[in-house]
Amino acid sequence: MALTDTYTLSNGTKIPVVGFGTWQTPDGEIAYQAVLTALKDGYRHIDTAEGYGNEASVGRAIHDSGIKRDELFVTTKLDNSAHGYAETKQALGESLSKLGLQYVDLFLIHWPNPQAFRDNWEEKNAQTWKAMEEAYEEGLVKAIGVSNFRPKHLDALLKTAKITPMVNQIFLNPSDLQPSVVDYNDAHDILSEAYSPFGTGKIFQIDGLKEIAAKYHKSVPQLVLRWHLQHGFLPLPKSVHENYIQANTDIFDFEIAKEDMKTIDGFRGAFGLAEDPDTVPF
């Protein structure tokens, strides 16, 4: 396996097995340099969102990298303020314009029930999804999916959807494997993308990981990224440091033994579980 290896989504679209995360990567020089570095180091999959406020810098780095568009996989997400049919179309147009792209490879509903639509999230998601299906049919997006959706949100969406989401991007790391969501995704041929693969840095609080990583002569982040791949997840590691960005690519020359996979699975709750999407204050 290598960074350029792919999973295949339910519609046949190929998606590189590791994506580069950009949440909390400030717009401007930091986001530009981080993404440019990642592309230089071989990442071919970039994960951004309207809500991260850095699409313009991400787009600039993509453009300046000189890498052919069809060799890249770019994801962006619909902002929580933009649920609805017309709003979704407008938001996608704005994201494409900021990114300077004709299409994105994957467009996700960022959140199932933002506070603003908590009374009518089901109806809003149905309208949003219709707009996303049309964007897919028009070729503005090569794949469509969701993020932070639990089975009940997906069940609701599937009542009116013509196309089943191809991806569900969720909080996944040794502190929470979200088995009920992953099982649902698997049963519906929805790829589980792992956001916060290092728990936004909290992974270093788990002492037991250091011992296991040392056994394989790897760092904790490298061990954890490998653990994600062996689970069939698609991790989205984020960093703004060149040495970390590069180190996080060195994960393809070892195999974690079954018993160590189990030990890592057993750290559930070590630094908390995924937030409940129905009650978050945003």
Ligand X SMILES: NC(=O)c1ccc[n+]([C@@H]2O[C@H](COP(=O)([O-])OP(=O)(O)OC[C@H]3O[C@@H](n4cnc5c(N)ncnc54)[C@H](OP(=O)(O)O)[C@@H]3O)[C@@H](O)[C@H]2O)c1
Torsion of CA 20, 220, 229, 164, to 10 degrees: -50
Pull the structure tokens for residue 277.
């999407």
Active-site hit among 7, 32, 43, 52? 52
**Closest CB to ligand X among 194 and 258?**
194
110 is in an annotated binding site: yes
**Closest CB to ligand X among 240 and 261?**
240
Helix, strand, coil percentages for the chain (3-state, nearest 5): 45, 15, 40
Contact between 247 and ligand X per CB under 6 A: yes
What whole-number distance in Å separates Cα of residue 154 and Cα of residue 164? Answer: 9
Q: To the nearest whole angstrom, how small is the minimum distance from the Cβ of residue 79 to ligand X?
A: 11
SS3 280: coil
Is residue 136 part of the annotated active site? The answer reads: no
What whole-number distance in Å separates Cα of residue 220 and Cα of residue 166? Answer: 30
Among 22, 37, 178, 185, binds ligand X (CB under 6 A): 22
Count of residues near ligand X by CB under 6 A: 27
Could you count the other beta carbons within 10 Å of the beta carbon of residue 258? 9
**Closest CB to ligand X among 137 and 269?**
269
Q: To the nearest whole angstrom, how small is the minimum distance from the Cβ of residue 277 to ligand X?
A: 9
Q: In sequence order, what E strands does the chain have? A: 6-8, 14-16, 20-21, 45-47, 73-78, 106-109, 144-147, 167-171, 191-195, 234-235
Could you count the other beta carbons within 10 Å of the beta carbon of residue 159? 8
Contact between 37 and ligand X per CB under 6 A: no
Q: To the nearest whole angstrom, how small is the minimum distance from the Cβ of residue 45 to ligand X?
A: 11
Alpha helices in 139-170 (DSSP H): 151-158
Q: Quick one: which segment of 80-88, 122-130, 196-204, 260-268 binds ligand X (CB under 6 A)?
A: 196-204
**Closest CB to ligand X among 135 and 234?**
234
What whole-number distance in Å separates Cα of residue 162 and Cα of residue 180? Answer: 24
Q: Binding marks (x or -) toward ligand X, 48..87, rule CB under 6 A?
A: ----------------------------------------
- Residue 156 phi, psi dihedral angles, 5° rounding: -65, -45
Contact between 244 and ligand X per CB under 6 A: yes
Contact between 112 and ligand X per CB under 6 A: no
Q: Binding marks (x or -) toward ligand X, 209..228, rule CB under 6 A?
A: ----------x-x-------
| Nearest CA-CA partner of 146 in 115, 119, 108 | 108
Write out the residues near ligand X by the rule CB under 6 A. 21-24, 47, 110, 147-148, 169, 195-201, 219, 221, 236-241, 244, 247-248
Catalytic residues: 52
